[in-house]
Structure 1
């Protein structure tokens, strides 16, 4: 658990991007939710990614030198991650500003929404690339990319269910959870060969993630059927905790502080 700032950064940044991407797709495909709900979802996404960014700063030995990450853009996966998160957050803020100050500029709002969603997709792809390190075989696997992408839509889908409890968001949430559960046994089998001792130490977190998944899906289905927001809020909270548990286990697969 020595990398808690990165645990919160990665999970929350992915949840924020997943939420905004899903709400954008809802707006493009079924023309819902309304502008007010879209604005609220954008604010929630901005707050979450803001907390994620603050968590990342806490991990730095000298936070005021974070600007140095810009010099590694293009060649350093970590720099690309930081820059993409900044671009996503900046575009999201600009989108909300236009939506609030110039609501009549519908084309500009739509364009900025799509641009922000694309930046969110780039962020989701770039975060896992930080951890594909050849010297750490338990990270240097396709499982890392798949699990982190799915995390965006388990947590993001559950958050979307709060504002838009429809079949699309429910299906994305449940399917993402099911895929995560489906690949978990083969991933644990892989870890039992590459890092058996570390896997044993982190099994309680993997077990917690699985158990929380079951609770979260049950709450999400009930939230959809009953159309009751507290259940949707509970589902999203449980899923975020589940992803945090899994991410702690992931970072604990490396015993040396980053």
Structure 2
């Protein structure tokens, strides 16, 4: 990095042009570090090879998150084991799936499961998505018609979750989840899919689409860094809290009986 570039981080740093993009489902892929940095801060292992695709592994080694843009069709693959560890599930998300939506699922992998029964459709209905049931397929479509979420079954009874977004020119992405994907993860994904807030993209990374709305904003590099660091700090704090709770949990097993006056052994 040359001296001119470094000046952007000093007291006289210059604001850079970014764009807020709405709807978020058509905002393009974004920076994969939005996903990977959070997982790393949550204690996940980075198993990526040098100059190779991204590969992250959960602390208990039951889930892997990979991103490879160089293969066809390319994109995200999340693979895990559920229940008794013999049931496998997977999710495949296209290369242009916005990282903010991907993070809905991957962030949820780092958190304890809620005691409440998950409902994939609730976040969509709260944002006024249109729902319909036809031919054993239950579908929810965004108000602008650009994005959808569907639970579909074929004639043989095979089922899967299918979702995605496309503009009128056919640009966009699709994703699918195997039917045994934990429901709370699919709900976490649908929550971000339906999220009404715009997402930010740097100049030159905004898709060309007549169906998106953009607002130009000036952002200083230090502001971007602070926002990114806040997300990482939150992940570290949550991981520390969970680890501390486990380490300070009171013992529930009874201590060995020691007769009165008997010798005590120090351990």
Given the two structures, how large is their TM-score scaled by the length of structure 2? 0.27
Bigger proportion of residues as strand:
2
Instruction: Select the structure that is richer in helix.
Output: 1
Of the two, which has the highest radius of gyration?
2
Greater relative contact order (CA < 8 Å, ≥ 6 in sequence): 2
